[in-house]
């Protein structure tokens, strides 16, 4: 999708919601070029076919190794994982 393949990044977050036409998938993706995206994709009921890409936006999440109360942010951890597999 949008020039990305399933093995060319890391899925950071994914959730789904039932929709009249199928299932709406909402999530975050980190591409191998260290670009973060947030997306919403509508699939059929069986989640085997994409009906519509409702949004695919480049975002700038907070990246910190020492955030008060949580330590490493999810974006920081995703970048660490990507560098280990890159």
pLDDT digits 0-9 by tens, 28-82: 999 999 999 999 999 999 999 999 999 999 999 999 999 888 899 999 999 999 9
pLDDT at 5: 55
How far is Cα 18 from Cα 6, in angstroms, rounded to an integer?
Answer: 23
pLDDT at 44: 95
Q: How many C-beta atoms surround the C-beta of residue 81 within 10 A?
A: 13
3-state secondary structure of 71: strand
How far is Cα 82 from Cα 86, in angstroms, rounded to an integer?
Answer: 6
How far is Cα 50 from Cα 56, in angstroms, rounded to an integer?
Answer: 14
Q: Is the pTM higher than 0.75?
A: yes
pLDDT at 27: 96
Q: Where are the beta strands (DSSP E) in 1-86?
A: 9-18, 23-31, 36-43, 50-59
């Amino acid at each position: 999708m949008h020039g990305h393949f399933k093995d060319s990044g890391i899925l950071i977050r994914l959730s789904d919601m039932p929709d009249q036409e199928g299932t709406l998938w909402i999530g975050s993706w980190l591409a191998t070029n260290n670009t973060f995206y947030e997306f919403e994709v509508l699939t059929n009921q069986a989640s085997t076919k994409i009906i519509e890409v409702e949004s695919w936006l480049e975002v700038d999440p907070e990246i910190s190794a020492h955030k008060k109360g949580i330590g490493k942010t999810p974006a920081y951890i995703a970048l660490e994982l990507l560098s280990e597999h890159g």
